[in-house]
Chains A and B, each alone.
Chain A
Amino acid sequence: MGSVSVNKLHLSFGDVEVLKDLDLNVEQGEFLVLLGSSGCGKSTLLNCIAGLLDITDGQIFIKERNVTWEQPRDRGIGMVFQSYALYPQMTVEGNLAFGLKNAGVPRDEISKRVARAAEILHIGPLLKRKPAQLSGGQRQRVAIGRALVRDVDVFLFDEPLSNLDAKLRAELRVEIKRLHQKLEDTTMIYVTHDQIEAMTLADRIAIMRAGAIQQLGDPHTIYNKPVNKYVAGFVGSPSINFIGGTLEQGSEPVFVAGSTKIGLERYAFSGAGPTQGKATFGIRPEHVFMDKGAEDQPFRAEVEVEVIEPMGADTLVWSRLDGNELRFRVDGQTHVKKGDRRWIGFDPARASIFDGQTEMRL
């Protein structure tokens, strides 16, 4: 059993099921990200682990101790909130010390721990200030510090960077990663809807949808081998191209969409092997190459450029493959313009194919 274990967790508000038979096991020192769109239950799950919400059924273990009925303060957790949630009438020092005072920690120990947290998070000069006098980034540092001083086993982050501007977000993201490397034994569970945060921070990602975990795995697996169509579409920006068609079996499996035939002899089918019938073919924009890059790809086609979106480092090109929208990424220096006819190519081995009915990966 790991550091945090959730066993058959069930939560409903009246008739509304928010979390359904949820199992989750987080190893000690692991950084787990709960990723999902809003309303998927990821924050609710975090609140259940923290003890801020009473669950309907199931069990929660932290450090192999059953904490299902324990108060938040007895669970050995620290929590960081999206709105920082600093106590406005207290100084930074007061904010950091509040939890320790409540726990009855002696005064000299409090000041020692506050000083250490302040040093780790570079907020030493701010200790005497009130939260209103701090910038957003500084506030969130203090909020992290509040969890840090309490020497907890588990850090819970509830969308901590969502209220910050893009630049600060990137800075603090790295800082959280550094913090995790420094506190090797500390387990971190991090809720976000931002896939960049999820990909960069996580040891493992749990993709949630409608109160259930769709896929739990390391970022590489989630990205390259999404378990179903929802996960494939949710992760990745710009998002994956879906081409609707049918799977046909000849001497080799072939994916057919209109007049396009994609040979799948190199595709690694999972489980029972290739089936037949309706299916969706998914290929990420960065796995589609143009012109020279397309020459040695197993699948090639000629497409017309419809829209281009220059993004600096690269350019996103929108085109159509047999009526299906196909986006792909080319180098930002490449000259492409609307109306061009270009050759593109990709390797079906890097694609993902989903069943037309169950939407599960084939």
Chain B
Amino acid sequence: MANVGAINVTTASVDAAADAMAGPRGARPRRMLSRRNIFLYGALFIAAVYYLLPLYVMVVTSVKGMPEIRLGNIFSPPMEITFEPWVKAWATACTGLNCEGLSRGFWNSVQITVPSVLLSIVIASLNGYALANWRFKGANLFFTILIVGAFIPYQVMIYPIVILLREMGLYGSLTGLVLVHTIFGMPILTLLFRNYFSSVPEELFKAARVDGAGFWGIYFKIMLPMSLPIFVVAMIIQVTGIWNDFLFGVVYARPETYPMTVQLNNIINSTQGVKEYNVNMAATIITGLVPLIVYFASGRLFVRGIAAGAVKG
């Protein structure tokens, strides 16, 4: 009916319609330099500078020679670029009697991190899968105990674990440290996996059971291929967490099994002679490089995995 009316309009209303057409039309114009944009980008810029400036100082200082550093201007770009501090930090910096630099700590950290990450993810994903999909008797109690474990402060557990490791003959060994990291990663990782697997539609799980897949069949053929993002998330959390760990390293390791972070601390705090700021800066950057690379390589998947748990679908 409305169309019929529109055809029969009088001349006057046609004029009115023409006036109306002269008004704004199409996409609304946007000004680049509106107040909103200035505030927004200004705030972002300041935040970015705030975070990037220390990094800049570190990088710049690490490639300066000591004479140049003594001039005192930490923001000035290097007049003469030298990579000697980097080499020294990696290979020859001394901690006490030992002069192997960070390299020894690096290999210790690798030997701690790789097995801890793999082991904790394998166990936690199975835990999460069993808790989410096979609701066995006492599943809730088990889960509650596990989560409560996450709230007990580390300090409370440090000494008992020292005794425990000593009794097991693992104190001071890399194996002992791997064990500690695996266990301490369990609550948060199990929670992560359980929540992710819970978001997988239940009917999928039922269909697989009707199709004859058992506990392991469903885990490997259905759940695992669907859950790549959450495995990446777990890997990032564990790699950065274990790599950056200082407390367990210093408590449960011996000088020859110290991880990189402890080694870094010892290099920087060794008090003989002058403080070599350039070597310290280089050593710090080298230590932080691994988590940084992990973030850059898998950042996109990380965001996807974090978001995947939130929105069902």
Minimum C-beta distance from B146 to chain A (A): 24
A73 touching B203 by the CB < 8 A rule?
A: no
Q: How far is the CA of A71 from the CA of B214 in the complex (A)?
A: 10
B166 within 8 A of A: no
Complex CA gap A103/B211 in Å reads: 8
Instruction: Assess A79 versus B204: contact at CB under 8 Å? Given A89-B226, A103-B212.
Output: no
Is B210 in the interface zone, CB < 8 Å from A? Answer: yes
Q: Which of A102, A103, A150 has the most CB of B within 10 A?
A: A102
A73 touches B226 (CB 8 A): no
B300 within 8 Å of A (CB atoms): no
Structural contact, A146 and B201, CB atoms closer than 8 A: no
Q: Are A99 and B212 in contact (CB under 8 A)?
A: yes
Interface size grouping (class) on chain B: 10 to 19
Mark the stretch among B31-39, B185-193, B217-225 that contacts chain A: B217-225
Interface flag for B236 (CB, 8 Å):
no
Q: Is the CB of A102 within 8 A of B211?
A: yes
Q: Among residues 70 to 124 in chain A, which have CB atoms less than 8 Å away from a CB atom of chain B?
A: 71-73, 77-79, 81-83, 85-89, 98-99, 102-103
| B27 is an interface residue with CB less than 8 A from chain A | no
Is the pair A79, B213 in contact by a Cβ cutoff of 8 Å? no
- Measured in the bound complex, the distance between the Cα atoms of B211 and A52 in whole Å is 12
CA of A77 to CA of B217 in the docked complex: distance in angstroms? 19
Q: Could you tell me the distance between the alpha carbons of A99 and B212 in the complex, rounded to whole angstroms?
A: 6
Chain A's closest residue to B201 (CB) is A83
Q: For window 192-239 of chain B, which residues contact chain A by CB distance below 8 Å?
A: 201, 203-204, 206-213, 217, 221-222, 225-226
Q: Which residues of the other chain, A, contact B201 by a CB distance below 8 angstroms? A: 83, 85
Asked whether any CB of chain B lies closer than 8 Å to the CB of A50, the reply is yes
Chain A 48-84 per-residue mask, 1 if CB under 8 angstroms from chain B, else 0: 0010100000000000000000011100011101110
In the complex, A77→B211 CA distance in Å? 9
B209-A52 in contact (CB<8A): yes
Q: Across the interface, which residues of A come within 8 angstroms of B203, CB to CB?
A: 81-83, 85, 158
Within 8 Å by CB of A78, from B206, B210, B222, lies B210
Shortest CB distance A324–B (Å): 37
Residue of A nearest to B224 (CB): A89
Closest to A81 in B: B203
Given A82-B203, A83-B203, A87-B204, A52 contacting B210 (CB threshold 8 A): yes
A103–B213 Cα distance when bound, in Å, is 9
> With A and B bound together, what is the CA distance between A85 and B225 in angstroms?
15
Complex Cα distance, B226 from A86, in Å, reads 12
Is B207 a contact of A79 with CB atoms below 8 Å? yes
Interchain nearest-CB distance for A353 vs B (Å) = 43
Q: Which residues of A contact B222 (CB under 8 A)?
A: 87
Q: Report the separation of the CA atoms of residues A64 and B217 in the bound assembly, to the nearest whole angstrom.
A: 29
Give B132 Cβ to nearest chain A Cβ, in Å.
Answer: 16
A interface, size bucket: 20 to 34
Q: Is the CB of A73 within 8 A of B225?
A: no
The answer for the CA separation of A328 and B51 in the assembled complex, in Å, is 75
Residues on B with C-beta less than 8 A from A146 are 207, 211
Bound form: Cα–Cα A82–B206 in Å: 12
Are A102 and B213 within 8 A (Cβ)? yes
Partner of A79, one of B210, B217, B225: B210
- Distance (whole angstroms) from the CB of A359 to the closest CB of chain B: 36
Pairwise interchain contact B206-A102, C-beta atoms closer than 8 A: no
Q: Are A73 and B209 in contact (CB under 8 A)?
A: yes
Q: Which of B51-81 contact A (CB under 8 A)?
A: none
Q: With A and B bound together, what is the CA distance between A85 and B204 in angstroms?
A: 5
CB nearest neighbor in B for A50: B210
> B207's contact among A47, A71, A81, A103, by CB below 8 Å, is which?
A81
CA distance A86 to B204 in the complex (A): 7
Q: Smallest distance from the beta carbon of A143 to chain B beta carbons, Å? A: 8
Q: Which of B201, B204, B210 has the most CB of A within 10 A?
A: B210
What's the Cα separation between A71 and B210 when bound, in Å? Answer: 8
With a cutoff of 8 Å between Cβ atoms, the chain A residues found around residue B213 in the complex are 73, 98, 102
Q: Which of A86, A88, A158 has the most CB of B within 10 A?
A: A88
Please measure, in the bound complex, the distance between the C-alpha atom of A150 and the C-alpha atom of B217, giving whole angstroms.
18
Q: Which residues does chain A contribute within 8 Å of B208, judged by CB atoms?
A: 87, 98
Shortest B139–chain A CB gap in Å is: 14
A233-265 interface code vs B (CB 8 A; 1 in, 0 out): 000000000000000000000000000000000
Contacts of A150 in B (CB 8 A): 211
Q: Are B212 and A102 in contact (CB under 8 A)?
A: yes
Query: In the complex, which residue of chain A has the Cβ closest to the Cβ of B206?
Result: A52
Taking a contact as CB atoms under 8 Å apart, the answer to whether A72 and B209 are in contact is yes
In whole angstroms, what is the CA distance A87 to B222 when docked?
7
A99 closest partner in B (C-beta)? B211
Q: Supply 14 further A-B pairs (C-beta < 8 A) apart from A73-B211, A98-B208.
A: A47-B206, A52-B206, A52-B209, A73-B213, A79-B210, A81-B206, A81-B207, A83-B201, A83-B203, A85-B206, A87-B208, A98-B221, A150-B211, A158-B203
In the assembled complex, 20 residue pairs joining A and B whose CB atoms fall closer than 8 Å, in A order, are A47-B206, A52-B210, A72-B212, A73-B209, A73-B210, A73-B213, A77-B210, A79-B206, A81-B203, A81-B206, A81-B207, A83-B204, A85-B203, A85-B207, A87-B204, A89-B225, A98-B211, A98-B213, A102-B213, A150-B211
